[in-house]
Structure 1
Amino acid sequence: MQSTDLKALLDDYQTVTGSQVVLVIEACYSGSHLPILAAPNRAIITSAKADEQAYFDGKQGFTRFFTKYLSATNFKESYELAQRDQNELLGKVDQRPVTADATETAKTTQSAQLDDTGDGIYDPAQDGQWLKQVRINGDLQMADFTLAVENLTPAWPAVIAQSQSRHRSRRREIGVGRDPSTTHEPRH
């Protein structure tokens, strides 16, 4: 889905319901969506600038930190606390050496952004006033949204085109997993 498609869906939703929307995007280069998705009565929170990657350590990342604080704070404060926690996480990541003699370490940056003024530009002096007033009421339950690969299907070679006679000789040659003396050709 393109950003313009998502914007159209959000626009339609807000037109029909008259609701305000807060959208959180956790992805590399997610800040690039701010100018496209911006609209009145809509707050966009991204985990990274348009030119930055999003980083995770196991199940820890910006959105996990953000949602952890939502039950006790407003959206703006949750955003700030999540940004702090993400910077601490990146500080640990930055301890890894980038040279063989470990004289240099990496410097990783990830800067969350938000726009709640509808102008599509993150301005720390202007943005966040509306989100200071937004809270989730009640008991907030969060599901584990971590994706994991449980197993892989082995790769199988695919033959796109081959003559019938070549196909038969290949089947005989590999034996299709049977004793070659018992391999039978398929009837057509």
Structure 2
Amino acid sequence: MSGTARAVIEVILSYLFKNQKGRDAKSFYTTPAFASHKEQTIEVTAPDCGPSGATLPSEYTYEGGGRFPTLEWRAPGPVAESVKEWLLVSEDPDAPLSTPVCHGIYLGIPVAKTRVEAKDFELADPAQRLLKGGFYYGMPRRDVVYMPPRPLMNHGVHRYFFEVVALSEPLDKEFAKSAANRDQVAEAIKGKVLGWGMWVGSSERTWS
């Protein structure tokens, strides 16, 4: 199929599903594990991309190379003193589906690591799903380390949530290596969430 034909199909789908966006109420941070933590308490920034809500530069999109944005985070005193491990989830709540699309999920991030950058997401041991940053990757919508933003053409702006979660105890190592999906991780962290925060990047594709 030619590129033009694919674009036409995408535009048609965008028109058919133009109102299928904004699944924020089904985002990862709304699952039962966060029942006692409705509000963000962890500050997450992306120094190379700008403030939360900023448009992602092309190099951070699927068509521009798919670089993972550098993220930094800072937790308030009580959380910082108690956290034993970090969890990171990336999802698109504006995909035309019933629930957000998970673009990446990362388990076992060491407590001392409060910054991740693109090189951290390179494979260190594929058999163990271990990344060079010293943590593991779970199962997003497709079995890849990270699905870069590629919103449906002419579907408008899509937001990409990068959610950092502080855990009161580490996840089981075998579980972290098991290619767990978003729902399985949400279940595994019940009773372990100390706080969370997120940075939002935006992206849009138009047929020119």
Q: TM-score normalised by the shorter chain: which range applies?
A: under 0.3
TM-score (norm 2): 0.25
Q: Larger % of strand: which?
A: 2
Structure of higher CA gyration radius: 1
**What TM-score, normalized to structure 1?**
0.27
